[in-house]
């Protein structure tokens, strides 16, 4: 057990300690960063998501799924704007029969009276079986996990977006989408992925890059404004894990030179809400990416028809609607996949994922 939050955080950087800190009985307990998932964990989560998706097609399958977490209560503690992710976690919990409560305005909670994260989550652990949390502070979820790991009633904490640093459940749904789409093309290994946008501040882009490192020989082409290029810690990690990377400032040049070799493009928006330093909502006039970071419809002929186009949403101008009829446009599938992979995550956290996969296998659904 880490005695201080600082040592808990430092432990998360070490591969060996990370498992002790974040897992219980071989299962994920605190879900905070992409690096905590090994290749086998990712494969098993994806198989569970597919099992849930297929079982959910039939009444008996749905009843079986709903019995998995019946009686469990999940708290969605969301301090930042979210509809998609919050609803996706609620729908995922619902699929497995758990009930959910949502607190999205922390001004109405005791945080407004100056309550510490530690006291707040320990209080919530009396009423709930897991906390899903989104917060503008990079460390909020980790701090909650640390506090609970030292308490007499530890419950799982799942980050649904941590400041500018990570959005682990988003990256799991992105990998699930890539794996499913590349099923007939050798899977995610060896693929060339372009990540466009504000990589320094986009937690979805960063988490995806970290997760791609679990695959064999991927190549990531980052395209971002100089001021928001990928940070050194991320680049060093990718290098250590033999992910080949290129850093580009012009999307047009990259696609003209290498468009035919690209397997997937992950477009993200500029994260202007951080510009004011207060997690504010940017003015409409501030929003949107500069031309160099927009996937323009005229680039279509530079890409293969089977190139995947993805976006974590919300989008502003960076992925225009003209792309929607492209055969590789996966954005709406990503949204749906988010619910399946989050249900798989709950199943793994509460230890019923094996039973779900077995049931699906017996019915020849896997």
Q: Which residues bind ligand ASP (CB under 6 A)?
A: 161, 167, 202-204, 268-269, 312-313
Question: Which residues, in sequence order, are CB contacts of 46 under 8 Å at separation 6+?
Answer: 175, 176, 179, 180, 341, 344
* Alpha-carbon span 137 to 116, nearest angstrom: 13
Measured from the CB atom, the residue of 259 and 312 that comes closer to ligand ASP is 312
- Residue 358, both tokens: 């077995």
Measured from the CB atom, the residue of 230 and 259 that comes closer to ligand ASP is 230
Measured from the CB atom, the residue of 98 and 313 that comes closer to ligand ASP is 313
Contact 351, 27 (CB under 8 A): yes
CB of 204 to ligand ASP, least distance (A): 5
Contact 90, 115 (CB under 8 A): no
Cis preceding-peptide flag for 314 (omega within 30 of 0): yes
CB of 145 to ligand ASP, least distance (A): 19
Measured from the CB atom, the residue of 164 and 219 that comes closer to ligand ASP is 164
CB of 318 to ligand ASP, least distance (A): 10
Alpha-carbon distances, residue 104 vs 80, 87, 91, 173, 362 (angstroms): 7, 12, 17, 23, 41
* Alpha-carbon span 38 to 295, nearest angstrom: 32
CB of 89 to ligand ASP, least distance (A): 13
Measured from the CB atom, the residue of 203 and 214 that comes closer to ligand ASP is 203
CB of 195 to ligand ASP, least distance (A): 13
CB of 212 to ligand ASP, least distance (A): 17
Measured from the CB atom, the residue of 320 and 351 that comes closer to ligand ASP is 320
Measured from the CB atom, the residue of 230 and 312 that comes closer to ligand ASP is 312
CB of 203 to ligand ASP, least distance (A): 5
3-class DSSP assignment, residue 351 = coil
Measured from the CB atom, the residue of 196 and 313 that comes closer to ligand ASP is 313
Radius of gyration (Cα) for the chain, nearest Å?
Answer: 20
Measured from the CB atom, the residue of 96 and 209 that comes closer to ligand ASP is 209
Measured from the CB atom, the residue of 201 and 357 that comes closer to ligand ASP is 201
Alpha-carbon distances, residue 202 vs 77, 112, 336 (angstroms): 21, 27, 21
- The residue count of the chain comes to 366
What one-character-per-residue DSSP string does 186-217 give? T-STT-EEEEES-TTT-HHHHHHHHHHTTSSS
* Alpha-carbon span 197 to 225, nearest angstrom: 7
CB of 313 to ligand ASP, least distance (A): 6
* Alpha-carbon span 325 to 310, nearest angstrom: 13
Taking CB atoms, the residue at the shortest distance from ligand ASP is 312
CB of 218 to ligand ASP, least distance (A): 21
CB of 269 to ligand ASP, least distance (A): 5
Q: Helix %, strand %, coil % for the chain, to 5? A: 50, 15, 35
Alpha-carbon distances, residue 132 vs 91, 155, 160, 194, 297 (angstroms): 13, 11, 6, 30, 37
* Alpha-carbon span 70 to 65, nearest angstrom: 9
């Amino acid at each position: 057990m880490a005695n201080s939050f600082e040592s808990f955080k430092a432990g998360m950087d070490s591969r060996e300690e990370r498992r002790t800190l974040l897992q219980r009985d071989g299962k994920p307990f605190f879900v905070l960063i992409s690096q905590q998932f090994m290749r086998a964990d990712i494969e098993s989560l994806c198989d569970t998501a597919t099992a849930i998706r297929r079982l959910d097609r039939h009444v008996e399958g749905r009843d079986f799924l709903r019995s998995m977490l019946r009686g469990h209560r999940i708290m969605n503690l969301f301090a930042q704007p979210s509809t998609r992710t919050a609803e996706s976690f609620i729908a995922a919990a619902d699929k497995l029969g758990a009930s959910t409560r949502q607190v999205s305005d922390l001004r109405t909670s005791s945080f407004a009276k100056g309550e510490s994260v530690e006291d707040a989550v320990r209080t919530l652990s009396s009423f709930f079986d897991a906390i899903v949390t989104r917060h503008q502070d990079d460390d909020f979820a980790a701090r909650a996990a640390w506090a609970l790991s030292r308490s007499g009633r530890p419950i799982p904490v799942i980050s649904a977006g941590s400041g500018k640093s990570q959005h682990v459940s988003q990256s799991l749904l992105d990998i699930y989408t890539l794996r499913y789409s590349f099923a007939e093309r050798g899977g995610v290994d060896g693929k060339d992925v372009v990540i466009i946008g504000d990589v320094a501040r986009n937690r979805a882009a960063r988490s995806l890059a970290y997760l791609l490192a679990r695959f064999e020989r991927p190549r990531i082409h980052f395209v971002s404004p100089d001021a928001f290029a990928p940070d050194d810690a991320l680049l060093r990690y990718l290098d250590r894990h033999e992910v080949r990377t290129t850093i580009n400032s012009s999307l047009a040049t990259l696609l003209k030179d290498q468009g035919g070799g690209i397997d997937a493009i992950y477009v993200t928006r500029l994260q202007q809400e951080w510009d004011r330093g207060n997690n504010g909502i940017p003015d409409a006039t501030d929003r949107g990416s500069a031309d160099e970071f927009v996937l323009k419809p005229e680039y279509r002929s530079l890409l293969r028809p089977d190139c995947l186009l993805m976006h974590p949403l919300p989008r502003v101008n960076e992925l225009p609607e003209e792309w929607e009829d492209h055969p590789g446009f996966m954005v709406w599938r990503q949204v749906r996949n988010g619910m399946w992979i989050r249900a798989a995550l709950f199943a793994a956290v509460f230890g019923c994922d094996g039973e779900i996969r077995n049931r699906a296998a017996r019915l020849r659904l896997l």
